[in-house]
Amino acid sequence: MSTVVAETTTPSEPTLREGAFGHAKGLSCRECGHAVELGPHYACPECFGPLEIAYDFPQVTREEIEAGPANIWRYKALLPVPSDIEQSPNMEPGFTRLLRANNLGRELGIDNLWVKDDSTNPTNSFKDRVVACALSAATEFHAKVFACPSTGNLANAVAAAGARAGIKTVVFIPSNLEKPKQVNSAVYTDSLIAVNGNYDDVNKLASEIAGEEDGWAFVNVNVRPYYAEGSKTLGYEIAEQLGWRLPDQIVIPVASGSQLTKVDKAFQELIKLGLVEDKPYKVYGAQAEGCSPVSVAYKAGVDAIRPVKPDTIAKSLAIGNPADGIYVLDICRRTGGAVEDITDDQVREAIVLLARTEGIFTETAGGTTVGVLKKLVETGQLDTSLETVVINTGHGLKTLDAVADSVGPAATIDPSYAAFAATGLA
């Protein structure tokens, strides 16, 4: 495994306790490979490329992982967290269910289909995973404030994790965010800030505050390299739950693109560590048509992502300038996958389809992913004979408005058997 040679730490940075970041040895630029010492940094000082964690992994066995707790800390040896992470107050997310989706598979014509259902995390979305890693980093950096810009799910997860850890928490959201996601954050914190603008405006504000204020840990800004590593646990879990093997194909929603890139990173790490067999797999990205800059670039065959102004009901995917978009393109092309998009009506139809075939009520991001899976089959871009996993990132109760007008009672009747019989359902 790679080892990073550290640069000199700036005098203002806190002294890190030994082992605070596990087997992470530093930060590495994804563009130029420049090495940076562990700290609250997210941009390369040489080329401004994104930084990510570099490790010097120990030998890890399947048995050691399986003996761990039923949450993401079973993979702590592969994350930038201390060995005593379980002792810290946290939400203990992860190890969510991987469901065989025979009914949906029959509907779509896919022989072997699974749904990785992250709606069962503590705040009902996959964001609890990344926030748990970010909280550990923020604690080690002695942050005074735990914060984030968010399209909703992250706000919920940060607010809840901050409350559990007893740290001051401030979350910033677009003012037009779905009401249930606002309530799901405000119930945990009295510092929910609604900003007039879209996510990209909110993210810009957060970056400005991070540059002005000392002691603020913005989970997806200045501690982003640590935060993003939490998404790897999705990939680890899928492989372990499949019996320590990789799926042939996986469909993942794309907002910033970080989740997709980290699942791929997880698969590659498992291969390098000898925990799974090295085999080909295809990665597919899913976007909503109203915010599909990565899909547009993929279809145009170009590498540049042209930012867009989002206009879709899939607000958790509504990032018009995705930070990891170019890496999503690279992974999907490298593995033989694709990036596809669907309309808002197709998102709504897919939400209902998943609910009525598998009993899983997904939010709009999950609807987008299932809808794109359907489109990939219909357009012949996905091999229906191969084992396929589709990721559901959050619970539908957070985005009720998306389908509120398209579902409801089949009939309203008087309380009599005759009235019921008249519905034709008897």
Domain boundaries, the chain: 24-55, 98-124+225-402, 126-224
- Write out the DSSP string of 141-176: TT-SEEEEE-SSHHHHHHHHHHHHHT-EEEEEEETT
Map 14-57 to HEC letters: CCCCCCCCCCEEEEEECCCCCEECCCCCCECCCCCCEEEEEECC
C-alpha dihedral (265, 271, 273, 275), degrees to nearest 10: 120
Q: How far apart are CA 134 and CA 171, in angstroms?
A: 14
The pair of three-digit structure tokens given for residue 16, joined into one six-digit string:
């890190």
What pLDDT, on the 0 to 100 scale, is given for residue 11?
42
- Write out the DSSP string of 214-270: TTEEETTTTTHHHHHHTTHHHHHHHHHHTTS---SEEEEE-SSSHHHHHHHHHHHHH
Strand-pair category, 35-36 with 98-100:
unpaired
User: 126-224 — its CATH code?
Assistant: 3.40.50.1100
Q: Which residues of 229-260 are buried (b: 16+ CB within 10 A; e: fewer)?
A: bbbbbbbbbbbbbeeebbbbbbbbbbbbbbbb
Q: How far apart are CA 38 and CA 21, in angstroms?
A: 9
What pLDDT, on the 0 to 100 scale, is given for residue 10?
42
User: 98-124+225-402 — its CATH code?
Assistant: 3.40.50.1100
Q: How far apart are CA 290 and CA 232, in angstroms?
A: 27
**Which residues lie closer than 8 Å to 177 by C-beta, 6 or more apart?**
151, 152, 155, 194, 315
What pLDDT, on the 0 to 100 scale, is given for residue 349?
98
Asked whether the beta carbons of 173 and 153 are under 8 A apart, the reply is no
Task: Measure CA 168 to chain center.
Answer: 24
Asked whether the beta carbons of 158 and 217 are under 8 A apart, the reply is no
Torsion region of 150: left, alpha or beta (phi above 0 gives left; psi -120 to 50 gives alpha): beta
Asked whether the beta carbons of 391 and 367 are under 8 A apart, the reply is no
- Write out the DSSP string of 259-322: HHHHHHHHHHHHHHTTSS-----EEEEEEETTB-HHHHHHHHT-S--------SS-GGG--SS-
Q: What is the pTM of this model?
A: 0.93
Q: How far apart are CA 26 and CA 30, in angstroms?
A: 13
Angstrom CA distances, 64 to 71, 209, 275, 394, 425, stand at: 14, 42, 11, 29, 53
Let me know the angle formed at the C-alpha of 310 by 345 and 295, rounded to the nearest 5 degrees: 75
Structural element, H or E, at residue 115: strand 113-117
What pLDDT, on the 0 to 100 scale, is given for residue 67?
98
C-alpha dihedral (365, 370, 374, 375), degrees to nearest 10: 20
Q: Which of 343, 263, 256, 351 has the alpha carbon at shortest distance from 294?
A: 256
What is the strand order of the sheet 24-29 is part of? 35-36, 24-29, 51-55
What is the strand order of the sheet 98-100 is part of? 98-100, 113-117, 388-392, 249-253, 282-288, 338-342
Q: How far apart are CA 143 and CA 214, in angstroms?
A: 8
Do the domains at 98-124+225-402 and 126-224 have one common CATH topology?
Answer: yes
Length of the chain equals: 426
Q: Which of 74, 39, 75 has the alpha carbon at shortest distance from 57?
A: 75
pLDDT tens, residue order, the chain (426 aa) = 333 333 334 445 567 888 999 999 999 999 999 999 999 999 999 999 999 999 999 999 999 999 999 999 999 999 999 999 999 999 999 999 999 999 999 999 999 999 999 999 999 999 999 999 999 999 999 999 999 999 889 999 999 999 999 999 999 999 998 898 899 999 999 999 999 999 899 999 999 999 999 999 999 999 999 999 999 999 999 999 999 999 999 999 999 999 999 999 999 999 999 999 999 999 999 999 999 999 999 999 999 999 999 999 999 999 999 999 999 999 999 999 999 999 999 999 999 999 999 999 999 999 999 999 999 999 999 999 999 999 999 999 999 999 999 999 999 999 999 999 999 998
What pLDDT, on the 0 to 100 scale, is given for residue 13?
59
CB 83: neighbour CB atoms within 10 A? 13
